[in-house]
Chains A and B, each alone.
Chain A
Amino acid sequence: MAKIKLEQLTRKYGPVTAVDNVNLDINDDEFLVLVGPSGCGKTTTLRMVAGLEDITSGSVYIGDRRVNDVEPKDRDIAMVFQSYALYPHMSVYDNMAFGLKMRKVPPSDIERRIQEASSMLGIGHLLKRKPRELSGGQRQRVALGRAIVREPAVFLMDEPLSNLDAQVRANTRTELLRIHQRVKNTVMYVTHDQVEAMTMGDRIVVMKDGVVQQVAAPKEIYDHPANKFVASFIGSPPMNFLDAELQIKGDTAVLSGPAFAFSINGTSAQKLANLPSRSVTLGVRPEDVIVSGGAGGIGDSAGMRSRVDVVETLGAEQHLFLMAEGSSHALLARVNADYHAQIGDQVSATIDPGKLHVFDRESGAAYL
């Protein structure tokens, strides 16, 4: 229903910069997820959009209106808090009606909207109860209902699922998406959980230390992380990192370390040939590690000779922790459930060259 625009948004607490020069354009009806470790400034950013946090410098636009000096109540937003922040002294019905009464919505309208929202959320039978009589999941729905009935231009959600247990969280995640498709509102959603970010966001904003690291669709973020931090934060199990030296031999680029060497041909090799630095960090997603068993069939410089250290069986897949021979390099590989591996097996790990990530060792910026 409304665009949001953040322009050079900054929040300082004394000498500490919590949010540093954030620029963002959030489209109509977009589900935008802000993700990052705790203390990265994502919640502060959200609260500045809500008007609950002072803005040190920069601007927030909702629709075409600059709202820096607009009270939260006049910003046409609804917010779902991590703690739900239900009014303990009011029934579920009154919790949902409160915002509407404050806005002088006609009683018949209030009634209708609450009926609609509560049946959509499956809390119709709870309307007379007080928040303390509800389970965590139910409270979460009420908090959501309170936001939905408002029919705001923008939904702001601050880790709304983090207080739920795993099963309920997964269900509610799906449901939130379903609701978003029905209600069609602009959503700004803050989470520290990269799974939520990946599954829910139309686009993801990855933040660290108050600075936006990357803004992109989930697939783009996963396949082409802008830097080592994004690469390590998004994806579970996390990406493997190996420090490597880059050598260019004709058309072939060789990335090698004490216990491994990976050869790369083609366009990727050409890109690598132009790098300013030869000391890089290699990044490989666990599913891009190709494990081949036995000692035979491994070329001298093909991949990493290693020993299976730990095997984790997850049913649909297995996680193999590989230790490079004669070094402390470890590599996590994600393989099919039917791959036969035992602790102590000698294996060779190679990498799909097209899936390789190369980062600057100093700055962490992605080259490839």
Chain B
Amino acid sequence: MKAKTRRNILGDALLAVLSFFFLFPIYWAVLMAFKTQADTTAWPPKFFFTPTLDNFRVVLGLGGESSGEVIAGASTSIIPALGHSLVISLGALLVSLVVGIPAAYALARYKFASRESIAFTFLSFRFAPELLVIIPLFVIFRNIRLYDTYVGMIWIYQLITLPLVVWIVRGYFEDIPLEIEEAAKVDGCNWWGTFRHVALPLAAPGIAAALLLAFIYAWNNFIFVLILGGEHTQTVTLAALNFLSSEQQVYGQMAAAVLISILPVLALALYGQRYLVRGLSLGAVKE
């Protein structure tokens, strides 16, 4: 009994330390977002200060007093970048949905030559380092004029979203008892009917989980848009960086931009929590 209590206390303490470790940067970013430029750079760091909404006004393009000068040429509003992020992330999701779900179904249900190799190839997109391919990709994108276009970005984002969709949804399809699909075939469905009326509805939670995860990863991507994107496709992850330069570091505005940019993902994640947990663990345990 005593030992158990001690272990509990120890565990709680450990959790507290870990939570502090992971949550402190977010906490600090929240504080910074409400600080004036002078407060953000104050030493010793200020935990108590008079909060200001100026950073948010600037970042959202509502005027307001910019407490620091912003680099010439860069837009101070992140609204356009939010739009770019949305178009690219949702576009990437849509393509992954249309391509990935049938692929996942085929990989789950049909036996064909080198099935596992194909499945593994999809997975390898996920763990191959982006930096390894980004330079040749840059050259190719330049040459075929995909540099700084939505089409190019959505295409390259498939490296992020497609493997997630394929692998998570495949696991869900494999979990559906084969007999249920056979029952549908006897009941009058061809393969498409079986897929649409039986497999798809039963895998819906998995598809939701996959989409949620894929959206989060797509939204958070930085390197692809940094190298292959430009003014027309700049996403929020990149826009936040505009507040930092060699001449000036507008930490407050950057923090505000970051906070705004994580809001959609945070809302989605909270909303889809139950799908997420299953999606993550399923992907982990399967095979």
Contacts and interface: CB of A to CB of B under 8 A. Distances in A.
A9 B74 CA distance: 76
Interface in A288-341: none
Interface string A48-90: 0011100000000000000000011100011101110111110
Nearest to B193: A102
B182 A81 contact: yes
A78 B185 CA distance: 10
A229 interface: no
Nearest to A75: B186
B182 A85 contact: yes
Nearest to A77: B186
A271 interface: no
Interface stretch (B49-57, B113-121, B197-205): B197-205
A50 B181 CA distance: 13
Contact of A87 (B184, B186, B193): B184
Contacts, number: 61
A318 B85 CA distance: 81
Interface string B165-200: 000000000000101101111111110010001100
B198 to A, nearest CB: 6
A35 B89 CA distance: 57
A150 interface: yes
B180 A88 contact: yes
B22 to A, nearest CB: 38
Given A87-B198, A102-B193, A73 B179 contact: no
B190 A71 contact: yes
A51 B190 CA distance: 12
A83 B177 contact: yes
Contacts of A77: 186
Contacts of B186: 50-52, 72-73, 77-79, 99, 156
Nearest to A99: B187
A343 to B, nearest CB: 49
A112 interface: no
B187 A73 contact: yes
A98 interface: yes
A77 B188 CA distance: 10
A85 B177 CA distance: 8
A103 interface: yes
B187 A150 contact: yes
Given A71-B190, A73-B190, A102-B193, A87 B180 contact: yes
A83 B180 CA distance: 9
B188 A73 contact: yes
Interface string A244-276: 000000000000000000000000000000000
A73 B177 CA distance: 19
Contacts of A72: 182, 185-186
5 contacts: A73-B185, A82-B179, A99-B187, A102-B188, A102-B189
Given A73-B189, A85-B179, A103-B188, 11 more contacts: A71-B185, A71-B190, A73-B185, A73-B186, A81-B179, A82-B179, A85-B180, A86-B180, A89-B201, A150-B187, A156-B186
